[in-house]
Amino acid sequence: MQHVQRPLLSFGPKASMKFRTCPISVCKETRLCSHLISEFSSEISTVTTDGAFMTSWLNNFLKQSGSLVTQDNEPGSISNPHQFCAQPSSIPRSVLQLVGSSYLLRATAWEMYGSAPLARINALVYATCFADTSSSSDAALAHAKLIQHLATFQGYKEAFSALKVAEEKFISVSRSVILPLKLQLIHDRALHRGNLKLAQQVCDELGVLASPVSGVDMSLKIEASFHHARTLLAANQFSQAAAVAHSLFCMCYKFNMQVENASVLLLLAEIHKKSGNAVLGLPHVLASLSFCQTFNLDLLKASATLTLAELWLSLGSNHAKRALNLIHGAFPMILGHGGLELRARAQIAEAKCYLSDPSYLVLQDPEAVLDPLRQASDELEVLEYHELAAEAFYLMAMTFNKLGQLDKREEAAASFRKHIVALENPQCEGDPLLKML
Q: What is the largest CA-CA distance in the chain?
A: 82
Output the DSSP codes for 42-110: TTTTT--SHHHHHHHHHHHHHHTTT--S--TTSTT----HHHHHTS-----HHHHHHHHHHHHHHHHHH
Kindly report which listed range (96-100, 308-312, 406-410) carries the lowest average pLDDT score. 96-100
Q: What is the pLDDT of residue 46?
A: 46
Our measurement of the distance from residue 328's CA atom to the centroid of its chain's CA atoms, rounded to an integer in Å, reads: 21
Give the integer Cα–Cα distance in Å for 37 and 30: 13
- Residue 55 is predicted with a pLDDT of 56
pLDDT (average), residues 54-79: 48
Give the chain's mean pLDDT.
83
pLDDT score for 48: 44
Residue type, 209: L
> Tens digits of per-residue pLDDT, 256-271?
887 899 999 999 999 9
**Least-confidence region, from 137-146, 207-216, 244-253:** 207-216
pTM above 0.85, yes or no: no
Would residue 101 be called left, alpha or beta, if left means φ above 0 and alpha means ψ between -120 and 50 degrees? Answer: alpha
50 Cβ contact list (under 8 Å, min separation 6): 90, 92
Q: Is the Cα dihedral 3, 4, 7, 13 positive or negative?
A: negative
Do residues 123 and 115 touch, judged by C-beta distance below 8 A?
Answer: no
Range of weakest confidence among 54-58, 69-73, 87-91: 69-73
pLDDT for position 27: 61
